[in-house]
Structure 1
């Protein structure tokens, strides 16, 4: 019998997984999986539990929660040459990766995707010793995602991000110096937003990186150079429809690796979580994880 380890965030999505746990476990058992579960007590516990599941040769590891939970589980699995297959039950605030994979929003339906057994191999991004499955980003506006308290997100959902953005409104358009280097050349400018995307859906924008493909072996790089708040809001409106990449105020290209340098101390956002400081090399690991999808 195949074994599945369900790793879930008990506070995600207004405690959605906790409330439906019994039904989820029953569904997986009926599909032929010997299933056990683990509720994450604090940050980074999901990564360690996923690592142990890989060591114990589980066939499937299921991440149930938001993009942060998925990020941790990916970091627990990605260092292995033949990691377990990854299942996703989207129960977070934005669920960017689930959107990109076109997973059902209902976690019971998403569980059916796992029991059906269809999967695809996807790329994984790497920065230093950290991995990311969806996005790496920097800029004052990206700090909103991991500075919003988890309890506030449980109570308010997406409104928690808006509340945090209003609090930081005066600094969101403050630029930083950025220097990029790829095999194709170098680029340098004062910058408001730097994004390295692996999928189309980032920060709730379903077409922020419209050419991105989780299995193409490429990173999609989007840069918004220094501009005023009015232009930034205009670009955000265009981004809702994926039309911003044709605007002259935006830099957009694809590459398999990129070196980033800045003299400023700037926080890096990895899949919505704090990922250290922005400086170093981003690269793509092609077809590195097998994920269940519709």
Structure 2
């Protein structure tokens, strides 16, 4: 008998997701699976529960929540030392990774994905003792995700991010940060608006922010947007919608296994939508360190 642990964030998606989780549990039970269910209550609960699953004899995990919940489960897999396959059920305000992977949201299709047992091993990003499924970022507007109160996320959804972003634009628009970037592929000292170290192409709801990203290629995609005059900045951000911003002379795009970013300024780093710390940081890839149903 296969044992599956459902780890879910009860504040993500509220009643719709609760009903979907109940449906999924029923379908799995009806098909002979043993199902355990755990609701997270605070930060790192999903990570610790995943570590526990690795130490016990669970066969698979269902991770239900936003990118932050998926991040915690992926981190727990690494720290737990056993590559249990994870089924990601998109919920919450932002689900860049699940959307990028095209994972099913319908309860029946989701369970069929699990029962078919088709899995792939995808890359993760690493920074010290932290891991990321989707992106590490710093600079212009990258602090918005962890400034939005949880209550606002629950009530307003993605709109909460847009409202916070609009509030931050006047404060940050002309503030560049001085950084030193070091990698085999590209090294420089320059003033930038922001940097992104990405695993997938979808970041912050923009599907083509890292348009060449692939989650199985053993590389992280780095996007550096240099400090620009307002007309250049507007051109870059408008072209993001089409994935054409990487052709702008004020944008540097490269792939690497490892990159170090340093700054004498205090630059906060966002990890999958949560505060991760401040620079300096060395980001590197964990090649195919996370197994997911697909």
> So what's the TM-score if we normalise by structure 2?
0.95
Instruction: Tell me which moved more, 280-289 or 12-21.
Output: 12-21
**Superposed displacement of residue 109, structure 1:** 3.5
Q: Partner residue of 2:101?
A: 101
How many residue pairs match? The answer is 293
Q: Partner residue of 1:43?
A: 43
Q: Partner residue of 2:236?
A: 235
1:56-87: CA deviation from partner (whole Å, max 9, x where unpaired): 13111111011111111111112344321111
Matches within 5 A, 1:78-227: 78-106=78-106, 109-173=109-173, 174-227=175-228
Say which SS state the counterpart of residue 120 (structure 1) adopts. strand
Say which SS state the counterpart of residue 196 (structure 1) adopts. strand
- For the 8 Å contact 1:142–1:269, the answer to whether it is kept is yes
**Superposed displacement of residue 229, structure 1:** 4.0
**Superposed displacement of residue 203, structure 1:** 0.7
Separation (CA, whole Å) in 1 of partners of 2:21 and 2:215: 29
Separation (CA, whole Å) in 2 of partners of 1:281 and 1:152: 32
**Superposed displacement of residue 107, structure 1:** 5.2
Q: Partner residue of 2:268?
A: 267
- For the 8 Å contact 2:55–2:80, the answer to whether it is kept is no
Q: Partner residue of 2:8?
A: 8
Separation (CA, whole Å) in 1 of partners of 2:59 and 2:97: 21
Q: Partner residue of 2:249?
A: 248
- For the 8 Å contact 2:67–2:272, the answer to whether it is kept is yes
1:151-192: CA deviation from partner (whole Å, max 9, x where unpaired): 211111110001111221222321111111112342111111
Instruction: Tell me which moved more, 46-55 or 214-223.
Output: 46-55
- For the 8 Å contact 2:23–2:107, the answer to whether it is kept is no
Q: Partner residue of 1:258?
A: 259
Change (3 A) 1:139 1:292: same
Change (3 A) 1:56 1:161: same
Say which SS state the counterpart of residue 265 (structure 1) adopts. coil
CA root-mean-square deviation: 1.6
Instruction: Tell me which moved more, 73-82 or 160-169.
Output: 73-82
Q: Partner residue of 1:284?
A: 285
Change (3 A) 1:160 1:119: same
Separation (CA, whole Å) in 2 of partners of 1:175 and 1:27: 52
- For the 8 Å contact 2:137–2:269, the answer to whether it is kept is yes
- For the 8 Å contact 1:7–1:38, the answer to whether it is kept is yes
Matches within 5 A, 1:29-68: 29-68=29-68
Q: Partner residue of 2:21?
A: 21
Separation (CA, whole Å) in 2 of partners of 1:220 and 1:281: 14
**Superposed displacement of residue 279, structure 1:** 1.2
Change (3 A) 1:166 1:108: farther
Separation (CA, whole Å) in 1 of partners of 2:190 and 2:134: 25
Change (3 A) 1:108 1:176: farther
